[in-house]
Structure 1
Amino acid sequence: MAKSTVKFKETVAEYERLAGEVRARRFAPVYLLMGEESYFIDALCDLLAGTVLQESERAFSQYTVYGRDVEAGQVVNLCRQLPMMGERQVVILKEAQQMRQIEKLAYYTDKPSPTTVLVICHKEKSVDKRSTLYKGILKQGAVLESVRPRDYEIAGWLTQFIAARGCAIDPKALTMLTDHLGTDIAKISNELQKLLLSLPEGTKRITDQHIEENIGISKDFNNFELCKAVLTKQSERALRIADHFARNPKDNPLLLTVMALFNQFRQLFLINYLRWQVKYRGTAFPSDAELMRILKVGNIFAIGELKQAAPLWPNRKVFNILGLLREYDAKSKGLGAGGASDGELLRELLLKIFLL
């Protein structure tokens, strides 16, 4: 099957649109929620499960079945029966990717019942878009294709997620979260929900102190602080953070640290190249807003720090450092590490960077 062309921002926008329609009680007869990212699939399914019917109706007119346990014909028969109570019934098919001959659901989805809301949760992959099933649901109902975010897309989504809950987050706290939790937005949202519940009443801004106290990520010893120390050539501070990482290797995997450093030096390389173009080609240097897009940086403060530090790292050095980081990326995966620990490798890498 061809790789999806849907972008993460399109998934977010379509989720918000469909969620708004559900809250306004404008229901489609069939929902196909599919893709590799389970967060939006679960969130929209839960919203439908808690909205379409009144609580008193759910025991009689809401059914949840699983793809591994049912056949398509059973689901079709369930959808075609009349509601026991009220005007509608809800049929939720979970783990639909495990159903054999799922394409037979097209016998129903081509002409769905007006009294049934069918929700198909198809995780891990998408339904074949060339299939009759997909085309029928696209015509008669609603489709949400849920794709996973790239690492640089997480910060923007998180900022909006927190803002929707009446709060804001400092840039450092945001970076601590994304560095520690990666791109698993289901895990991130769970941690944030717990964090928001634990904050003192009236708190309107999440700080690095809140992250340290409630999620257990050190505000002084993390990839954000290490990258900042390297960026500003504070070698003693960077090595002190590396020593902390060496004592806590499970919380600070070398691979994530190398990725964070690689991304920072890639950004420096681009800034230096853009300045070279200004000097030798007469082009205009991009605005900060444009730089955020080019560098895939989520906040304006990071842009200022990168611009200020770029002269300290000319591209002849940056090019060599990017090569070093590729080498240590391989070593972090066990290739040519020679039995050295993550802590030893990180200290070695930092010394090589500062000695260039």
Structure 2
Amino acid sequence: MHDETATATDPDEQVLAVVGALNGVYADSLLLVGRILGDRRDATSATVVGADLAGIDVRLTDPDGDHDVRIDFPEPATAESQVVDAAMALVVTARERSGEPGTTSAERVIAEMGGIRTMLTRVVRVVDEHPHLRRITFRGGDLDTFAPLGPDTFLYVLLPPPGRTELTIDQGFSWESVGDMPQDERPVGAYYSMREWRPDTKELDVLFVLHGDEGPASAWAQRAAPGDPVALWGPRTAYAPPPTTTEYLLVADETGLPATAAIIESLPLGTPVRVFAEVASMDQRQALPERDGVEVTWLDRAGAEPGTTSLLDDAVRAAAPPAPTAYVWGGAESRCITAVRRYVRREVGLPREQVSLTGYWRHRDHEDDAYFDEDA
């Protein structure tokens, strides 16, 4: 289970997210854009210092010092949902004009996204695991040709617009087209991790945390019934342990626990696995496989609001540090999981390829955080 967000967001938030992503996760792509489109081929660093729907302001550093340049999008964004695509278009344009070989982080994402499809299917079963957790099973339609990518396979669950019962999209859906759709026609939804895939029956299970009507996916899940149509955009994965991995550290709140369970099930029996799992209360724990070698530490928020504690970071720091050959995976609220990432990357010193800690959702008070550098 991932970020509980609708497709329509505040324009300033979208611009802020692009700035954060370019300065952090896509820093290498920004440098390419700055060097080529900012006409500073000798630049060694680039930082976005301003942005709007028409372009970005970049500070480039080369042997002659700092230079502020304006780089316009190929086409101005006319809707907030188009800002990310406009920024990605700059990377494509810069590569074409550069004549240079190579692939940056944003280009790899563009290639990956281009291969993702939209699958239409329906709800066939709804089961409550406990009062705040619902297992919804999908079957039929395009799931007949589905194949997961790994134990943490995740998909964007696309739902009818509020007040509607039928989908307004088909298999030709793309994020680029959302901005051109009337507001009342736009699908809503969120990212969710697959809990289980049964290839014999072509059934896919997803666990939904129920928290009323606070988000569109939770509101839909509260009322879901067999026969309800959904679209699934995916699959995608962030789980890629090196072949030299000897032990695992898994860190999650409620949203990351379905993938945590699937990862444990995928590992050979006896594999050393430490799990730190944060939940609202001990009676809201999710079932995790009980195996030799698997050690689970449950962390009880005891009434605290999700995303407001340091329980995960505190617990990981208090435990023995992961071994040099460990793989650290996790999914939780963005600021909480970033604190863990900073610890294992900066203080423990694990290299990037041994760490996959993802912000599955963002607390409303942390909106200004936008994106976090994976090297944080």
Common fold by TM > 0.5: no
TM-score class normalised by the smaller sequence: under 0.3
Q: More helix by proportion, 1 or 2?
A: 1
TM-score normalised by L of structure 1: 0.23
The structure with the largest alpha-carbon Rg is 1
Q: More strand by proportion, 1 or 2?
A: 2
